[in-house]
Structure 1
Amino acid sequence: MRRLWGMSTGRFGLIVVAVVVATAAVSLVWTPFDPQQVEISNRWAPPGWPHLLGTDASGRDILSLLMAGARTTVLVAVGSGVVATILGVALAALGALTARWLRESVAVLVDILIAFPVLVIAMMISAVWGGSLGVVIWSVGIGFGVNIARVTRPELRRVLHSDFVLAGRASGLTPAQNLVRHLLPNVAPVFIVQLSWSMAVAVLAEAGLSYLGFGAPVTEPSWGLLLAELQQFITVHPLSVVWPGLAITLTVLGLNLLGDALREATDPTLSRSPFATRRARLHIPEVVS
């Protein structure tokens, strides 16, 4: 954590993600106004007191809608991340640690699944089963789980032939024990980057699907739904569209930067030694013999 906080990208990512999660948690018990409260007489109120970000065409408080929409964002990001993690690790392990025929079958399956765009799959499933957060979480999680498996599998194969893995196998460790104790920790940096990227794109996917009407139902607060509703009035009230767009942009940027900082903080080959850090701070030049 000290190394992560010491990087500007890590600090920014941590702060943004913490603010979004805290906002989602607070909105469970309190929002300035009822997010679904309609007041036609108070429509398009400018930013100020008591509506700090103004109101929309129905008189609903935009700040309350953003706070409630953060719950949907966190739920989709975490839910799709869990699905992608389970599926990605399972496929990567099957593609790296099993018999040759099974490894090749998994590789072909991953190549086939990765050819289908995630958003297209989500839209097809939503058209059949109806738009819901569950459909978004599962479709996005499965789509990015395949991406995680494709990137993680070669790293597992590379680490599989390391001396410490062979020593663990000789000492009697089962393939599952070797996977948990030696293989996964050594591919964690690559896995973390892919997972954070998947969660960031999941936020964009949910917003995009909700914007198109294939994501969260209209009764569920969502940044994508709010953006779609306010975008119709962008020429008359352009400032109102800024708030949901800014929330989506900052969240995606924070997740990406946090993942990049986590990769650098957890990868020993990218971290500088204490002597190198002290030498850089003191501006001591290296001596080349």
Structure 2
Amino acid sequence: MNGRWGWLRRLWRLSTGRFGLIVVAVVLATAAVSLVWTPFDPQQVDIPNRWLPPGWPHLLGTDGSGRDILSLLMAGARTTVLVAVGAGIVATVIGIALAALGALTARWVRESVAVLVDILIAFPVLIIAMMISAVWGGSLAVVIWSVGIGFGVNIARVTRPELRRVLHSDFVLAGRAIGLTPTQNLVRHLLPNVAPVFIVQLSWGMAVAVLAEAGLSYLGVGAPVTEPSWGVLLAELQQFITVHPLSVLWPGLAITFTVLGLNLLGDGLREATDPTLSRRDRAARTHVPEVVA
């Protein structure tokens, strides 16, 4: 049990990991709670109570339609989690598949995959999303697939050389000697040893997914206006920033802290799960410098 959960204790000891873990946990908990409860109906229009300042019972105030901003933010957390997790799953599948094809197959396949990755990586993620939105219309599915494909290619490009490096390690050669298939070697030896690099890229991709959803929703090609979204809320409120600046602050802070938390959590997980970093840390703690007279 200690070995299994040791990475979590190391993550908590890191200030970056602790901050990222708390932020991500708060966002996940908010999204889960909003499924069954919000202070008010997020889409309830209450014209007499429009533009109320923060106070009771509207803790973060109301917007121009009288809707409770806290309820809108809680409901928007569901969209954020859906996009981040969905894009992360798509990026993981595409990235690992391309990296494995580019590292473990015949030479002509590896070179073909490398060329394909170089071509695809030339297209920015947001451009891909806007191109897909122009054809199939704006939706959360478009954001998830476009960001997932874009960062799956990034993951493949970074993970492929790491797989090639680990492929020639002694423990991989020993696995071959005892009869492990390439798939078994990939699962048991290769992927765990490239996990730190993969985790950083995945956390970055999920953070960009949050930004992409907010940005595309802001531009009107992301989440539909009927779907609670931090980007949609920001787009609706930004035109009143000079009159009611505090109302725009809340969705902006939600997006900022979520993206920052995901990035810092990825950095913390890299340090907590990287076996080479762990060995160096233990060596540094156990080394006692000599006292020179």
Q: How large is the Cα RMSD of the aligned pairs?
A: 1.8
Give the superposition deviation at 1:283: 11
3-state SS in 2 of match to 1:81: helix
Residue 49 and residue 194 in structure 1: after superposition, are their counterparts in 2 closer, same or farther (change >3 A)?
A: same
In 1, the alpha carbon distance for the partners of 2:11 and 2:107 equals 40
Give the superposition deviation at 1:56: 0.4
1:208 to 203, 212, 215: 215
Asked if 1:42 corresponds to 2:52, the answer is: no
In 2, the alpha carbon distance for the partners of 1:287 and 1:70 equals 55
Output one character per residue of 1:160-217: Cα deviation in whole Å (capped at 9) or x when no partner.
0111111111211111001001100000000000001110111001100000011000
In 2, the alpha carbon distance for the partners of 1:48 and 1:36 equals 19
* Deviates further, 97-106 or 279-288: 279-288
In 2, the alpha carbon distance for the partners of 1:37 and 1:193 equals 40
Residue 161 and residue 282 in structure 1: after superposition, are their counterparts in 2 closer, same or farther (change >3 A)?
A: closer
Residue 286 and residue 93 in structure 1: after superposition, are their counterparts in 2 closer, same or farther (change >3 A)?
A: farther
Output one character per residue of 1:35-62: Cα deviation in whole Å (capped at 9) or x when no partner.
0001111110111001000000111000
Output one character per residue of 1:61-81: Cα deviation in whole Å (capped at 9) or x when no partner.
000000000000000000000
Give the superposition deviation at 1:279: 9.8
3-state SS in 1 of match to 2:18: helix
In 2, the alpha carbon distance for the partners of 1:252 and 1:117 equals 18
Give the superposition deviation at 1:281: 8.1
Residue 97 and residue 288 in structure 1: after superposition, are their counterparts in 2 closer, same or farther (change >3 A)?
A: farther
In 2, the alpha carbon distance for the partners of 1:128 and 1:8 equals 44
In 2, the alpha carbon distance for the partners of 1:215 and 1:249 equals 18
* Deviates further, 166-175 or 15-24: 166-175
Residue 107 and residue 230 in structure 1: after superposition, are their counterparts in 2 closer, same or farther (change >3 A)?
A: same
Give the superposition deviation at 1:288: 7.8
2:106 to 99, 104, 120: 99
Give the superposition deviation at 1:130: 1.0
Which runs of 5 or more structure 2 residues have no equivalent in the other structure?
1-7
Residue 172 and residue 76 in structure 1: after superposition, are their counterparts in 2 closer, same or farther (change >3 A)?
A: same
Give the length in aligned residue pairs.
284
Residue 210 and residue 285 in structure 1: after superposition, are their counterparts in 2 closer, same or farther (change >3 A)?
A: same
TM-score by length of 1: 0.95
Output one character per residue of 1:97-143: Cα deviation in whole Å (capped at 9) or x when no partner.
00000000000000000001110110111111111111110110000
Residue 286 and residue 118 in structure 1: after superposition, are their counterparts in 2 closer, same or farther (change >3 A)?
A: farther
Partner in structure 1 of residue 200 of structure 2: 193
Moved over 2 A (4+): 278-289
* Deviates further, 90-99 or 278-287: 278-287
TM-score by length of 2: 0.94
Give the superposition deviation at 1:271: 2.2
Residue 260 and residue 213 in structure 1: after superposition, are their counterparts in 2 closer, same or farther (change >3 A)?
A: same
Asked if 1:163 corresponds to 2:173, the answer is: no
* Deviates further, 106-115 or 164-173: 164-173
In 2, the alpha carbon distance for the partners of 1:147 and 1:253 equals 20
Which runs of 5 or more structure 1 residues have no equivalent in the other structure?
273-277
Residue 186 and residue 286 in structure 1: after superposition, are their counterparts in 2 closer, same or farther (change >3 A)?
A: farther
- Percent of aligned pairs sharing the same letter: 90
Output one character per residue of 1:247-267: Cα deviation in whole Å (capped at 9) or x when no partner.
000000000111000000011
Q: Give 1:73-152 correspondences, 5 Å limit.
A: 73-152=80-159
Give the superposition deviation at 1:268: 1.9
